């Protein structure tokens, strides 16, 4: 799930897919799909969150929970990326 904060480009990514995970990372075209640079914070509700400032445009992303790559079922849409894998999309206006 993605929560767009305001017109500044701040976006909060929320992963509710793996409440028992030890670690969840956010990956996407904004960090060259590096699975270890944006660690998401665990909340008391079992969801993991990360807040980023992204430039306007479409951004592809996935979650990595304990090494397993996951798509966001609540994303605006899904696309096949340049790695021929399905990726979730968020649009920042």
Q: Kindly report the CATH number assigned to the domain that includes residue 35.
A: 2.60.40.10
Structural domain span for residue 32: 2-92
Q: How many domains does the chain have?
A: 1
The predicted-structure confidence for 42-80, as pLDDT tens digits, reads as follows 999 999 999 999 998 999 999 999 999 999 999 999 999
Total-model pTM: 0.91
What pLDDT score was predicted for residue 83? Answer: 81
The angle subtended at Cα 72 by Cα 29 and Cα 33, nearest 5°, is: 20
């Amino acid at each position: 799930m993605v929560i767009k904060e305001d017109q500044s480009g701040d976006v909060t990514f929320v992963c509710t897919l793996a409440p028992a995970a030890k670690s969840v990372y956010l990956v996407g075209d904004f960090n060259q799909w590096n699975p270890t640079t944006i660690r998401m914070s665990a909340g008391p509700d079992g969801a993991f969150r990360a807040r980023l400032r992204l430039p306007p445009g479409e951004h592809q992303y996935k979650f990595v929970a304990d090494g397993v790559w996951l798509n966001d079922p609540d994303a605006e849409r899904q696309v096949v990326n340049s790695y021929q894998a399905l990726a979730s999309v968020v649009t920042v206006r």
